Chains A and B, each alone.
Chain A
């Protein structure tokens, strides 16, 4: 019974490149959430998706960031034209229902050089 799987665990990108972060939710979970943790800061909600639909993206930066959760396959958080300020740990969580407990993955640590 695998937990939430995120890959890669570590990702290094040069400024201007694209970063693609993947998240496979727990089996049976159709709700996915992305959070970002900047260095020395708390976790901040970014986006909530439910199969093929973005429910709430109020925490997403307006530009360069996008997320999807297709019918088949993992959820993807995509960051275009990365800048140094995007360096952070990005955590994905999933839940069975909208308000049931969320279980987190181990995160992807993005470093922009």
Chain B
């Protein structure tokens, strides 16, 4: 039962912003949106999470639509090291499980 839908792959140019979409049309009021990424052969890395307000940290920005049915992860200045699989996950506030789907394979090209 997939809770999120992401495009399987996308390319972006080095130095440009990368905008990664995620649909979560069945999200409920107590579910947060989390983003993780997995660089080849490494463990998943936490990026950011949010409930309904836009969030920003040193890695990325998270824009959540007003109806919360979709969100966009923005990497402001993509580098080659940002090439990875990016996972969008919805999780209930008190839950501990992360349900990883197939994610989006992002390739940053020089």
Contacts and interface: CB of A to CB of B under 8 A. Distances in A.
Contact of A98 (B43, B96, B98, B103): B96
Nearest to A103: B46
A33 B96 CA distance: 9
B1 interface: no
A99 interface: yes
B98 A102 contact: yes
B46 A102 contact: yes
B101 interface: yes
B48 to A, nearest CB: 10
Contacts, number: 52
Q: Main SS of chain B's interface residues?
A: loop
Contacts of A106: 42-43
> Interface of chain A, helix or strand or loop or mixed?
strand
Interface residues of B, number: 20
Contact of B94 (A33, A44, A98, A101): A98
B44 interface: yes
Nearest to B91: A99
Interface in B44-73: 44-46, 49
Interface residues of A, number: 23
B42 A42 contact: no
B42 A48 contact: no
A33 B94 CA distance: 15
Given A99-B93, A99-B94, A99-B95, A104 B44 contact: yes
B96 A91 contact: no
A99 B49 contact: no
Top 7 A-B residue pairs of the complex, sorted by shortest distance between their CB atoms: A104-B43, A43-B100, A42-B100, A104-B44, A45-B97, A101-B46, A99-B94
15 contacts: A4-B43, A33-B96, A33-B97, A35-B100, A42-B100, A43-B44, A45-B98, A48-B96, A56-B96, A56-B97, A99-B91, A101-B49, A102-B96, A105-B43, A106-B42
